[in-house]
Amino acid sequence: MHMKWLYKLIEWFRRVMYGRYGSDQLSVALLIFYIIVVLFAQFLRMPALLIVGYAILIISFFRMLSKNISARRKENELFLKVYRPVKSFFKTRIIRFKQRKQYRFFRCPTCKTTVRVPKLGKKISITCPHCGNKFTKKA
């Protein structure tokens, strides 16, 4: 099979993207946000929302095609500063939910570290692995 056109397309794309910023987490997040906004616009029959959606799409493409790499990198770092804690918050909630039948989770009253203990159905003394504080909970 002749895939010459594909190589030509890749080559063309590489030439277009040369010296440009390209994709990052913020651009991907903006694309996902664009899809959500457009779906909402369709669902709620609000054409004004479509304009917002296209604005988001344009921003995302502008960022990918931008030659001001340091500015785009700074934007992405700012985005990650917000996004990473949010992501880890939900990740730990999902893990706790999956383990809810085998384990219980408690916060150390002193250092606020989360401690995982096996579910026993009785009161137990817990020693915090982080600060060594002892507290009693029904596990």
Report whether 49 contacts 37 (CB < 8 A). Answer: yes
Give the SS3 label for residue 133: coil
Binding to Zn ion (CB under 5 A) within 90-109 occurs at: 108
The correct pick among 25, 68, 88, 110 for binding Zn ion (CB under 5 A) is 110
Question: Quick one: which segment of 10-18, 32-40, 60-68, 125-133 binds Zn ion (CB under 5 A)?
Answer: 125-133
CA 86 to CA 76: how far, in whole Å? 15
In the complex, what is the shortest distance from the CB of residue 112 to Zn ion, in angstroms, rounded to a whole number?
Answer: 7
Report whether 102 contacts 119 (CB < 8 A). Answer: yes
Q: Which is nearer to Zn ion, 10 or 131 (CB)?
A: 131
In the complex, what is the shortest distance from the CB of residue 51 to Zn ion, in angstroms, rounded to a whole number?
Answer: 51
CA dist 98 → 88, 90, 93, 105, 117 (Å)? 15, 12, 9, 12, 14
CA 62 to CA 66: how far, in whole Å? 6
**128 makes contact with Zn ion (CB under 5 A):** yes
Q: Which is nearer to Zn ion, 71 or 111 (CB)?
A: 111
Q: Which is nearer to Zn ion, 20 or 137 (CB)?
A: 137
Binding site for Zn ion (CB under 5 A): 108, 110-111, 113, 128, 130-131, 133
